[in-house]
Amino acid sequence: MKLNFTGFSDPGLIRSSNQDAFYIDPEGRFFIVADGMGGHAGGEQASRIATQEIQGFLVSHWDDSESTPKLLEKALWEANKAIVHDQQQHPERSDMGTTVVAVVFRSPDCPWCAHVGDSRLYRFRESQLQLVTEDHTWVARAIKIGEITEEEARNHPYRHILSRCLGREDLHKVDVQPLDVKIGDRLLLCSDGLTEELNNQNIAEHLGKSPILETASLSLIEAAKAQGGHDNITIVMVSLEENAPG
């Protein structure tokens, strides 16, 4: 199996800075998207620390005997610890934090995903889009227990309230899960700047228009901006393809 991948980040039309960050391992071993919060400097710092710490930990421990889910979980805990330490050293950034979603292809046949917050992972297979991750937000929990509908959640005043993020001493859980993938799938990691503007049907329509990752990614970003572009928009896309013969 061969991986093709690309990534883009756009500040959108309203924000003066970009507090998102992403990292693509040059060898295609892992992919990260983070969405910072806590003001201009704080949000940028939190997402940068998260991507750097996760990247550094995975590279340093890639060949360890540790299982992939445990390795990925530890990487996110290290990122959380580093952000908390930075907060302690810089009280002006004490409220900063970040969401994160990461995918690791340590074993190509069984990749794993970890996430905290509302940055998402989708799988696009045979023209069908599936949300793989579950948002750690107030509205996601309210939908789950039937208090509100998905449509109501899109404009709910509490839709930005996170129940979990990196940068909290009381963070109690990191979600880690194996991914069901096969040749022909595309994976989409994104910040909520995309999903705030486009629903799942919109996203699927744009993904279906082009098999070229760069074209599809830029189409999604432009569509999100056409709907207002109220937040930073970050996309990482990965396609799973057959190895070339020979």
97-125 mean pLDDT? 95
pLDDT at site 244: 66
Among the listed residues 39, 61, 6, the one whose alpha carbon sits nearest the alpha carbon of residue 210: 6
pLDDT of the residue at 94? 92
CB 188 within 8 A of CB 203: yes
Can you give the pLDDT at residue 74?
98
Structure confidence by residue, pLDDT tens digits, 178-197: 999 999 999 999 999 999 99
**Lowest-pLDDT choice from 2-11, 139-148, 204-213, 235-244:** 139-148
Q: Would you say residue 205 has pLDDT above 90?
A: yes
For the ranges 37-41, 59-63, 153-157, 215-219, the lowest mean pLDDT is seen at 153-157
Rounded Cα distance, 213 and 5, in Å: 7
Per residue in 220-229, pLDDT tens?
999 999 999 9
pLDDT mean over 101-123:
95
Reply yes or no on whether the pLDDT at 14 is more than 90.
yes
- What is the phi/psi pair of residue 35, to 5°? -125, 105
- pLDDT confidence of residue 245: 61
pLDDT of 100 higher than 60: yes
Minimum mean pLDDT among 55-69, 127-141, 148-162, 204-218: which range?
148-162
Q: Please tell me the predicted confidence (pLDDT) of residue 73.
A: 98
Task: Say yes or no to pLDDT of 66 above 60.
Answer: yes
Q: 64 vs 243, which has greater pLDDT? A: 64
Average pLDDT over the chain, rounded to an integer: 94
In the predicted model, is pLDDT for residue 246 greater than 60?
A: no
pLDDT band at 65 (very low <50, low <70, confident <90, very high): very high
